[in-house]
A and B are shown apart, each in its own frame.
Chain A
Amino acid sequence: MTSEEAPAVREIAVVAFAQTDHRRSTEESSEVEMLMPVLHEVLAQTGLKTADIGFTCSGSSDYLAGRAFSFTLALDGVGAWPPISESHVEMDGAWALYEAWTKLLTGDADTALVYSYGKSSPGSLRDVLTRQLDPYYVAPLWPDSIALAALQAQALIDAGHTDEPALAAVGARSRADATANPHAQLKGQIPHGDHVVRPLRTGDCPPVGDGAAAVILAAGERARDLCARPAWIRGIDHRIEAHGLGVRDLTDSPSTRLAAEKAGAFEQPVDTAELHAPFTAQEVILRRALRLGDDVRVNPSGGALAANPVMAAGLIRIGEAAARIHRGDSDRALAHATSGPCLQQNLVAVLEGDPR
């Protein structure tokens, strides 16, 4: 290799994915008890033992648990003795996956276990999420997550990009698709319902629920050893926008578009897109930002409108996209995760299976 040549980038793939059934409440279980079955399931899919994992990274939030350092208790589920190489993000597990991906790129590890979980049932999620807002100008007003999404939806309606019937159709399609997803919380015919915060109705909003998910990443030939058809991560990128809601154009998602561009999403068409759009109007925004045509299968899992375990729903989008590649239902899929109010932060991953 000459000095002008770029070093070869390691190929990294999602090789296993598992998730819990998502439910309104799991009060009989602690976080680690809820999490352990999915950890065991991804390990079983690959035949790996906890001691074989090179790096472990998790995502969760203390504000859901109401307890500091809550993620440390969940570590009991991954066999953290003797000591392991481990990290945690106070974010959705999609960002934990990003960290694990960079760790594998460095060559320090060949396999990574990524998991995330959220139990929203102990608290009031609408109140809890206000604590992520600007503490000087916004949080003292306690605007809840649905109110902020409703401001975004109204802006979108005013801009002529959607209307209430179109939003109802997004919700109906999501919950109809979710009938094929045994883990979904809301499925089948769900009425559009009454306004929660107008213009959003219950059918435009995600269910509140508890759940967990886990994936295993592996590099190069290791991925082929562990999975018949690995879901190769061809690109992954995440971007953030200004925290001031009034600074942003709420009808657009330039951070999603930029992340998609950097992840290579626009270089070739995708056949599947798993979008983390907790509210119906956000799917409309993301489809436009990602230039998804009608020929792209969007959220065949039912998406976040069918199950939205906070902190795991983004990782589940990557997992669902990867699982479709594993099964041969997709050859090139886009997965998206979001965090913060009104699509403030966005992550896009492009996954591909080997040619058939």
Chain B
Amino acid sequence: MPDVLKAPLVVEFPFTRSLGPVQSAFLTGLRERVVLGVKTADGRTLVPPVEYDPATAEEIRDLVEVAPTGTVTTWAWNHEPRRGQPLGTPFAWVLVRLDGADTALLHALDAPGADSVHTGMRVRIRWAAERTGAITDIACFEPYDGEPHRPGGHTGEFEDPLTGIVAPARLDYTYSPGRAQSAYIDALSAQRTVGERCPSCRKVYVPPRGACPTCGVATKEQVEVGPRGTVTTFCIVNIKAAHTANLDIEVPYVYAHIALDGADLALHARIGGIPYDQVRMGLRVEPVWTEGARYPGYYRPTGEPDADYETYKELL
């Protein structure tokens, strides 16, 4: 078995989310150090507030201020904080029912140790120094044994309410393409292209993915294909590449499906070395490698006569 390739893969995206009227008031309130709940028809106060009653699905908009002090309803001691969590030192995850609320809010509690935390303990909000209108405007909770704070009776009306948030997300993976694609990528590093033949229908798939999509069976037999091939179909691209690696590619250019000799599936690549308006179905092409590259930069005409349509019509 060949060594399986591995590489870091980072998926990172700033999710831009719009806010409804209730979420907007709640998050704007946090920015202003005001905690708002929402009242249901049966008189319960939900914190954090939602726009629809979880029990009846009725729309609810009746905002009411609650206190920044509250009671822990359950907790869990997190001795090894992870990336992105509210505190970098050991802390307790807590659900806190703020004074005036009937439901609990999830957040972190800064406490000296697990033995200092218990269900029923009194806590208060520690505000972040810089607040933007996000749940992280609450830096964390901290133990508090004073009198409950009285909420200020805020209506939820703000001069400069938030209409959206940006929620960044990042996940780290170690990507492994598996046996079949590792063999394909390994061969490319020696400027060879290998596919795999289906033991049932005998078709050769390039790049191989380890299975025949027609027969649903594993493909194992490696087959070297190309390097030359035939353009089966193509398109003319008039949009400049956005990725920095491709900024030097002038438009218009041609992107084509290419059936490598010996392959039963066309792969796709850019066509170069010929004016874009002279590329045609049946054009015979070969790969052009650039120094140190891990895959062909583009394909150019070989100068052979065009392939007969009958030879590639099954691969369109």
Give the interface of A toward B (CB within 8 A): 27-33, 36, 39-40, 50, 63, 66, 73, 75-82, 122-124, 126-128, 131, 135-144, 147-148, 150-155, 158, 195, 197-200, 242, 244-247, 250
Q: Is the CB of A158 within 8 A of B119?
A: yes
Interface residue B187 (Cβ < 8 Å from any Cβ of A): no
A/B interface sample: 17 pairs, CB < 8 A: A27-B176, A30-B177, A30-B209, A32-B210, A76-B209, A81-B213, A135-B167, A137-B135, A139-B169, A144-B82, A151-B75, A151-B106, A158-B74, A158-B119, A195-B79, A244-B48, A246-B97
- Report yes or no: B211 in contact with A76, Cβ–Cβ below 8 A: yes
Which chain A residue lies CB-closest to B4?
A28
- Verify B180–A131 contact, CB threshold 8 A: no
Give bound CA distance, A84 to B153, whole Å: 61
The chain A residue sitting closest to B101, CB to CB, is A246
> In the complex, are the beta carbons of B214 and A81 less than 8 A apart?
yes
Q: How far is the CB of B127 from chain A (nearest CB, A)?
A: 15
Q: In the complex, are the beta carbons of A246 and B106 less than 8 A apart?
A: yes
Is the Cβ of A140 less than 8 Å from the Cβ of B135? yes
With contact pairs A32-B210, A76-B216, A140-B135 given, residues A66 and B11 touching in the complex (Cβ less than 8 Å): yes
Contact in complex: A127, B82 (CB < 8 Å): yes
| Given A158-B119, A200-B76, residue A122 in contact with residue B174 (CB < 8 A) | yes
Interface range for B = 35 or more
Q: Does B268 contact A (CB under 8 A)?
A: no
Judged by DSSP, the binding face of B is mixed
* Contact across chains for A155 and B46 when beta carbons are under 8 A apart: no
Look across to chain A and name the residue whose beta carbon is closest to the beta carbon of B175. Answer: A122
Measured between C-beta atoms, what is the minimum distance from A243 to chain B in Å?
A: 8
Q: A126-B82, A141-B136 are in contact. Are A29 and B179 (CB under 8 A)?
A: yes
Q: Evaluate contact between A246 and B104: CB separation under 8 angstroms.
A: yes
Complex Cα–Cα for A81 and B176 (A)? 26
A33 lies within 8 A of B171 (CB): no
A249 to chain B, nearest CB (A): 10
- Contact A127 B210, CB 8 Å, known A78-B216, A147-B78, A155-B74: no
Closest Cβ–Cβ distance, residue B161 to chain A (whole Å): 15
With contacts A138-B106, A198-B76, A246-B104 known, what are 9 further pairs, Cβ within 8 A?
A29-B210, A32-B209, A33-B180, A66-B9, A76-B209, A78-B216, A141-B84, A200-B76, A245-B106
State which of B19, B78, B83, B216 has its C-beta within 8 Å of the C-beta of A39: B216
| CB-CB contacts below 8 Å: B10-60 with A | 11, 15, 17, 19, 23, 27, 46-48, 50, 54
- Neighbour of A151 across the interface among B95, B179, B216, CB < 8 A: B95
Which residues of chain B from 185 to 240 have a CB within 8 Å of any chain A CB?
209-218
Q: Which of A40, A78, A137 has the largest count of B CB atoms less than 10 A from its CB?
A: A137
| Distance of A199 Cα from B82 Cα, bound (Å) | 18
Contact between chains at B50 and A122 (CB < 8 Å): no
